[in-house]
Structure 1
Amino acid sequence: MGNFKNFNAILCLILICGNYVRSQNPYVWQPSVKSTFYYQTGGVLNYGVKAQIYFIDFLRNQSAVADLKNSGRRVVCNFSIGIYERNLADSNNIPKNLLGNSVPGMYQASFINIAGYQTSGVGSVMTARIDLAKQLGCDAVQFDNYDYYQMNSVTGLLLNYQIQLSYFQYLAYYARSQGLAVCLKNNLSQASDLFNSVDFVFSDTCDGTSASCNYMDQYVNNNKAAFGISYRENYLNYIVDQDWQQLCVQYILKNYSWLIRTKSQDGYSLRCAITSQSNQNIISSSSTILGNSIAITLFAFVIIFTF
């Protein structure tokens, strides 16, 4: 009888703990592989793009979240977790003694010392931003401007791999506990270690063939969506549409969701897309032997934004 009572007690504890764990980890949305998306983190937001998912800078455009949600879009809310930006309302909550060197190419921005983030005040600023994302109705958060542990001579800070990894994992766990999905942006060197901490990935450094894309394959192969952008300014030798179509082939065959666009936020954007379902079937069965001329006939751009 004593053993039976002990069994009941253990079973009860398991059920209680199980309910606690579920309450700490509410449902988290996960985008489907090959979802359509639009990415704009500056300028006047274009609402007219036919895309299932919008990536936006929600701190500077808070009203856009509700507008996009009301139109049936999912919203990924991007914000910096490693850079102090003077023009943000909550920047005064970051202690000035934690600021490193100025960020090259960014106006009134400095690197943040993320070491000791749990006690320094940095962590609380970032979790407050996550709370705001939840309050506004964001579906996911995308952490930006933090991958600089290998740049101590530039940042003026003393950071290492583990500090950066721990910082991201801390914020990712908190976001997920609030029911928000987490997107990994770039950060190639830590992508494998962060696989279980994030729900999908984004890259604007992958060129379709190099090792900079390998981590995205790992995610897609495990049913986690991969999104990305190729900037026209990085391909100055690409002149005609066929050049861009050939670039698109690489991403589509990998099941990435991809845009070709200018670095300017008000420039045009082209979506890599397949012309028909029958073409998809042909590509799936012949992906290893497609020649350039055949690939060009099977793929086309869908223009989604033009100025």
Structure 2
Amino acid sequence: MVVATDDNASAARGQKPHFVPKSGSRLYTRVFLYAIAGILIVALALGLGLGFGLKHDECPPTTSPLPSSTPSAVWKPAVGSSWQIILSQKVEIDSNNPIVRPDVDVFDIDLFVHQNSSVIASLHKLGKKVICYFSAGSYEPYRPDSSRFLKSDLGAQMDGWPDERWLNLRSTSVREVMVSRISLARDMGCDAIDPDNVDGYENDNGLDLTREDSIDFVAFLAGKAKEKKLAIGLKNANDIVTDVLDAVQFSVNEQCAEYSACESFAPFIEAGKPVFHIEYPSGAPEKIATADSKSACSAKGASRFSTVLKSENLDSWVEYCDGRTVKTDVVS
């Protein structure tokens, strides 16, 4: 409780009235004395917090509110936001000469690779927003929390990723791990999360995962992200775009141009939400044919997407549709 100062209390009470009794009149003298006594009683009552309906547990209003600890609102990225994504390397920013290349709006980086580092704070100082990546639908044995998954949580091996296995999105223990990861993202200062591999239903997952399981899982993740004041994106899963569009703030899409599926993500643009679009043309990095670049950047339905051309290991190299190529500084 903030207690008013004497000056504030006096201002609230106002000035005392000034009485001038008629000379030689006992009646007026008595009235004057009574009036003075009454004023003193009222003043004392106000000083004790008893007058004019003021209760013991109330405080007079203050001129400025107390500081609020409420987190800021969920970030809403704009359509057309420029970006860079690096998942296989750790971004390096010199605190003595803070600069980052490319000079884009958003960086999508790996959650665990950047744990216990100052990179996110440095990016924020440079005016950048940060999306933190983690796999929400696959088991990766090299992650620090991988031992928390139960054997029954693990499904079939992921095609092309022999160390990874699909996760049971219905599992309570899987969801508990994801809540911890979302909390970690909040504690690290991430602005958003990029939960990957939520589309197990489209693959031979060994767990009988369905489209409805993915919709429910994304809704669950979105609810937890909202609690932590984090934005969340839908990774791929074009079949469920319209089912989860209201729950997420953006899309991260891989290879919609290659598979002629970019129009599936048009509802994001129509809703004023960006599509962060990645293509992996042959020859990347640095030897991409002009025709391949043009095909990736001019795909039907992708004209307003935030498109980047990357190598499949998602390292520091990136090419943009204007032909610019950049390498972000990373820890060697």
- Which residue is 1:217 aligned to? 266
- When residues 101 and 173 of structure 1 are mapped into structure 2, their CA distance, relative to the original with a 3 A threshold, is same
- When residues 253 and 165 of structure 1 are mapped into structure 2, their CA distance, relative to the original with a 3 A threshold, is closer
Q: Which amino acid aligns with 2:265?
A: M
| 3-state SS in 2 of match to 1:206 | coil
Q: TM-score, normalised by structure 1?
A: 0.73
Q: Which amino acid aligns with 1:126?
A: M
CA distance in 2 between partners of 1:140 and 1:193 (Å): 20
- Which residue is 1:95 aligned to? 150
Higher helix share: 1
Which of 252, 255, 280 aligns to 1:202? It is 252
The structure having more radius of gyration, on CA atoms, is 2
- Which residue is 2:282 aligned to? 233
Range with bigger deviation, 247-256 or 87-96: 247-256
- Which residue is 2:174 aligned to? 122
Which of 58, 69, 73 aligns to 2:111? It is 58
RMSD: 2.8
Kept in 1, the 8 Å contact 2:121–2:189? The answer is: yes
- When residues 234 and 131 of structure 1 are mapped into structure 2, their CA distance, relative to the original with a 3 A threshold, is same
Q: Which amino acid aligns with 1:50?
A: D
Task: Specify every segment of 5 or more residues in structure 2 that has no aligned partner in the other structure, as ranges.
Answer: 1-68, 93-99
- When residues 253 and 191 of structure 1 are mapped into structure 2, their CA distance, relative to the original with a 3 A threshold, is closer
- When residues 251 and 35 of structure 1 are mapped into structure 2, their CA distance, relative to the original with a 3 A threshold, is farther
Task: Specify every segment of 5 or more residues in structure 1 that has no aligned partner in the other structure, as ranges.
Answer: 1-22, 273-299
CA distance in 2 between partners of 1:121 and 1:240 (Å): 46
| 3-state SS in 2 of match to 1:228 | strand
- Spell out, residue by residue over 1:238-286, the C-alpha distance to the aligned partner (whole angstroms, 9 max, x if none): 96436524642447972111112222334632112xxxxxxxxxxxxxx
- When residues 266 and 126 of structure 1 are mapped into structure 2, their CA distance, relative to the original with a 3 A threshold, is closer
Kept in 1, the 8 Å contact 2:257–2:295? The answer is: no
- Which residue is 1:70 aligned to? 125
TM-aligned CA deviation for residue 91 of structure 1: 1.2
Which of 74, 78, 89 aligns to 1:28? It is 74
- When residues 26 and 267 of structure 1 are mapped into structure 2, their CA distance, relative to the original with a 3 A threshold, is closer
CA distance in 2 between partners of 1:83 and 1:253 (Å): 28
Aligned length: 250
- When residues 255 and 209 of structure 1 are mapped into structure 2, their CA distance, relative to the original with a 3 A threshold, is farther
TM-aligned CA deviation for residue 143 of structure 1: 1.1
Q: TM-score, normalised by structure 2?
A: 0.68
- Which residue is 1:305 aligned to? 327
CA distance in 2 between partners of 1:75 and 1:252 (Å): 26
Kept in 2, the 8 Å contact 1:40–1:56? The answer is: yes
CA distance in 1 between partners of 2:325 and 2:199 (Å): 32
Kept in 2, the 8 Å contact 1:40–1:57? The answer is: yes
TM-aligned CA deviation for residue 104 of structure 1: 2.9
CA distance in 1 between partners of 2:244 and 2:194 (Å): 14
- Spell out, residue by residue over 1:6-37, the C-alpha distance to the aligned partner (whole angstroms, 9 max, x if none): xxxxxxxxxxxxxxxxx999611111111110
- Structure 1 moving runs of 4+ over 6 Å: 23-26
